[in-house]
């Protein structure tokens, strides 16, 4: 099969399979990473075939779009191996630094659980003052968790 976008019916017709066999093959290709799915519900499912396996994005943009009401279109694919927390995403958002990203990153302060980890990462990257400034800006516009006194300096 060639790369492209298909519904189940168009994939079955082009591959010369029954609908059930086409679903089974699409399911197997999806597990292997060669197919991504969009649509569903009231819409038709669209299966996008790729020539190479696609890793699911699990980084900055996924986390920001999960927690922020301001959704961002990814500028790049961000794949993370291991633990990627809200604290990591705040540091990465400050590093990206454009206005929309910073505005969306402000909403992550509602979900910070480990202030020590946040400021340890900020210290490694030299961004402690930027974190404090973004926190104050977030506090002026949204309800956020209180930062402990020892980190407010």
CA 100 to chain centre: 15
Mean pLDDT score, 137-151: 92
Predicted confidence at residue 56, as pLDDT, reads 73
Q: Band the pLDDT of 63: cuts 50, 70, 90.
A: very high
Task: Render pLDDT for 34-43 as a digit per residue (tens, 0 to 9).
Answer: 999 999 889 9
Residue entry with tokens 């809200």: 86
Mean pLDDT of 118-127: 96
pLDDT > 90? residue 108? yes
Measured over the CA atoms of residue 131, residue 137, residue 142 and residue 148, the dihedral's sign is positive
pLDDT at 90: 97
Tell me 126's DSSP state: T
Can you state the angle between helices 19-32 and 8-15, rounded to 10 degrees? 100
- Mean pLDDT confidence for 123-147: 94
C-alpha separations of 153 from 5, 127, 131, 150 in Å: 54, 14, 12, 7
Could you give the angle at the alpha carbon of 16 between the alpha carbons of 14 and 21, nearest 5°? 110
Of the pLDDT bands very low, low, confident and very high (cuts 50, 70, 90), residue 29 is very high
Domains of the chain: 4-49 (1.10.10.10), 60-151 (no CATH)
The dihedral built from the CA positions of residue 83, 74, 86 and 94, taken in this order, carries a sign that is positive
How long is the chain? 153
Reported pTM: 0.72
Question: Is residue 54 a contact partner of residue 95, using CB atoms and an 8 Å limit?
Answer: no
* Radius of gyration for the chain, computed over Cα atoms and rounded to the nearest angstrom: 21
pLDDT band of residue 127 (cuts 50, 70, 90) is very high
């Amino acid at each position: 099969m060639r790369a492209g976008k298909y519904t189940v019916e168009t994939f079955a017709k082009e591959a010369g399979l029954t609908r059930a066999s086409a679903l089974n093959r699409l399911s197997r290709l999806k597990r292997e990473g060669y197919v991504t799915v969009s649509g569903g519900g009231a819409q038709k499912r669209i299966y996008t075939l790729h020539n190479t396996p696609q890793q699911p994005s699990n980084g900055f943009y996924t986390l920001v779009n999960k927690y922020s009401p301001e959704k961002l279109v990814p500028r790049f694919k961000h794949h993370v191996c291991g633990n990627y927390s809200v604290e990591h995403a705040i540091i990465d958002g400050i590093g990206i630094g454009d206005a929309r990203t910073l505005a969306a990153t402000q909403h992550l302060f509602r979900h910070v659980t480990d202030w020590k980890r946040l400021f340890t990462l900020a210290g490694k990257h030299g961004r402690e003052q930027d974190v404090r400034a973004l926190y104050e800006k977030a506090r002026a516009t949204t309800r956020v968790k209180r930062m402990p006194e020892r980190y407010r300096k």
